[in-house]
Structure 1
Amino acid sequence: MNQGYNSIRFDSDRRRLRQGQVGFRVKDRFARYGEEGSVEVEVIRYPNEGDWTRCLFLARITQGSEKFAVPSESWRRKLIASEHSPARTLMFTIALWNVPYFVSVHLVRHKFGVEHYVKSQRSNPDRASVRQDAPVNHVMDLNLQALMNMARKRLCFHADPVTRRTMEAVKAAVCACDPIYRDFLNPDCVYRGGCYEFTSCGYYERRLAEKARERGS
């Protein structure tokens, strides 16, 4: 894990990824997060066997079949990689507890296939004085395609560092529920086979060089 996540621990019974006392330490101004409370990413809902069975049924309908069956892992991987429409029926509900407000603002920019539910400040008479890094609760209800799209932008090293680490925590929590998603939640350069930002951070080039060294060893 990146710096700032060295105290994460995962409770498999609750499907919850907890952030310990280190908090989001990006310069000193975020150090207070560890003092005021922990940041948690909780996967409340993720695709179960019934959801995957329904997904396969919907895919088969387009081929003239009405058979119900639990799909194999190989089929699931092919479906995710192909990004065909049945993938949009696989739903997640992901809660971000005590996430910095500015991270929440970044995430709500994603609007296709996702609904955002964020703690409101309208009952706060002094809301004009609330800091941009004030903690808020943010719940996302989204499909698999939307989750992959979000990861492509928010795992990019050009993304805000705190937002990126939040997305890393989301990925870790989702993959702890089902590791099949690990290979599909990646920055855009990995997905597209190259960087298409205005300027490259160099991550993709370093990744290629590292793989070349591994092949040569």
Structure 2
Amino acid sequence: MKITVKPITESKRILDKCRLTVNKEPSKNSRPSTVFLDNIYMSEHSPIREKLFDVYIEDIPYCISTHFVRHHQGIEKYVTTSRSDRTNIADRSQRSQMDLVSMSMTVNSQALINMSKVRLCWCADKDARKVMFEIVRQVKELEPELGSKLVPSCVYRGFCSEGNASCGYSREFLKNWRKEYLNGRKQIL
């Protein structure tokens, strides 16, 4: 399986949409500051939806692609067909859920945040989790401020929303992950 993440839009679009909402001209800077991006991704204000990525996954098992197809807000998915009249491959009734397909997703930053809450969870399918970890790794290289916000629900919320007392992540690992996620922010409670 090969996963490739590429940015479609520039982060400056986020800043310019924020500036528009307060009656300011577009920024002359080519990229927003790290502090701005860190804060806007953490707050999840609507302009983050302006940052788009193209995620291409080649040779993913069909059954794993369905985990990503379930996401629907801020994301468009395209999966190669398994129709025998289009592929010249065996009749569908003879195909396995493990047959390989390719898929492409056009996804905004908010959708990546939402997707990571579910797909990085220990309760998620382990192979879907591996795919999501690779997507996160590549996003961190492209947009570190967003990448650090791509966390499972337990890190995001501070507790397990699945009620899973036997999570496979160690408490120490989750504690460090949450610390990185909060990145020095003061907690209200």
Q: Note if 1:178 corresponds to 2:143.
A: yes
- Cα offset, 1:85, TM superposition: 0.5
Q: Which 5+ residue runs of structure 1 have no aligned equivalent?
A: 1-38, 212-217
Q: Note if 1:191 corresponds to 2:145.
A: no
Specify the alignment match of 1:9 in structure 2: none
Specify the alignment match of 1:115 in structure 2: 76
- Counterpart AA for 1:140: M
Do the aligned partners of 2:48 and 2:110 also contact (CA within 8 Å) in 1? yes
CA distance change for structure 1 residues 57 and 44 in 2, over 3 Å: closer, same or farther? closer
- Cα offset, 1:93, TM superposition: 0.4
Q: Note if 1:200 corresponds to 2:162.
A: no
Specify the alignment match of 2:123 in structure 1: 158
> What is the alpha-carbon distance in structure 2 between the residues aligned to residue 140 and residue 43 of structure 1?
9
Q: Deviations over 1:139-160 (max 9, x none)?
A: 0001000011001100000001
Return the TM-score normalized by structure 2.
0.82
Do the aligned partners of 1:87 and 1:145 also contact (CA within 8 Å) in 2? yes
Q: Note if 1:83 corresponds to 2:44.
A: yes
> What is the alpha-carbon distance in structure 1 between the residues aligned to residue 101 and residue 113 of structure 2?
23
Specify the alignment match of 1:104 in structure 2: 65
Q: Deviations over 1:37-68 (max 9, x none)?
A: xx100113354xxx222221110111121242
Q: Deviations over 1:167-187 (max 9, x none)?
A: 111111222223223310110
Specify the alignment match of 1:66 in structure 2: 25
Q: Deviations over 1:179-213 (max 9, x none)?
A: 223310110000011111143333577137865xx
4+ runs of 1 displaced by more than 4 Å? 208-211
Q: Which 5+ residue runs of structure 2 have no aligned equivalent?
A: 177-189
Query: Which structure is richer in relative contact order (CA contacts within 8 A, separation 6 or more)?
Result: 2
- Cα offset, 1:77, TM superposition: 0.6
Do the aligned partners of 2:58 and 2:101 also contact (CA within 8 Å) in 1? yes
**What value does the CA root-mean-square deviation take over the aligned residues?**
2.0
CA distance change for structure 1 residues 193 and 176 in 2, over 3 Å: closer, same or farther? same
CA distance change for structure 1 residues 121 and 199 in 2, over 3 Å: closer, same or farther? same
> What is the alpha-carbon distance in structure 1 between the residues aligned to residue 152 and residue 44 of structure 2?
16
Question: Which SS does the other structure have where 1:69 is aligned?
Answer: coil
Do the aligned partners of 1:53 and 1:69 also contact (CA within 8 Å) in 2? no
